Amino acid sequence: MTADEPTYLDGNAAAGAMREVFAVDITAATGQCAGCGDRGAFAEARLYVDAPGMVARCRRCDDVMVRVVSTPDSTYLDFRGLTYLRIRTPTT
């Protein structure tokens, strides 16, 4: 990796950790950034994993949208950077 390459992954990289909490594919969810109002698929977020947890930042304004920290007995979710997260439910 060179200094010019981004140090983040895309939101798809969160699938494994998020699957442990949600029984749905979170990368298919859509949300709205509380900072700038940008709407899009969670998979389009910029995911930083070189911290004590994962941080998903807005692709447009770079504000923190989601934080996920796992400890040996708990998972902490911070979604305050999202106005909403829409998870489609299967129809019967």
Task: Based on the shown chain and the rule CB under 5 A, indicate whether residue 35 belongs to the binding site for Zn ion.
Answer: yes
Task: Based on the shown chain and the rule CB under 5 A, indicate whether residue 84 belongs to the binding site for Zn ion.
Answer: no
Q: To the nearest whole angstrom, how small is the minimum distance from the Cβ of residue 80 to Zn ion?
A: 13
Query: Strand pairing of 39-41 and 9-10?
Result: unpaired
Q: To the nearest whole angstrom, how small is the minimum distance from the Cβ of residue 58 to Zn ion?
A: 3
Write the DSSP symbol of residue 69.
E
Distance CA 17, CA 55 (A): 12
Distance CA 52, CA 81 (A): 18
Q: Using the rule CB under 5 A, which residue among 12, 38, 64, 87 binds Zn ion?
A: 38
Binding site for Zn ion (CB under 5 A): 33, 35-36, 38, 58, 60-61, 63
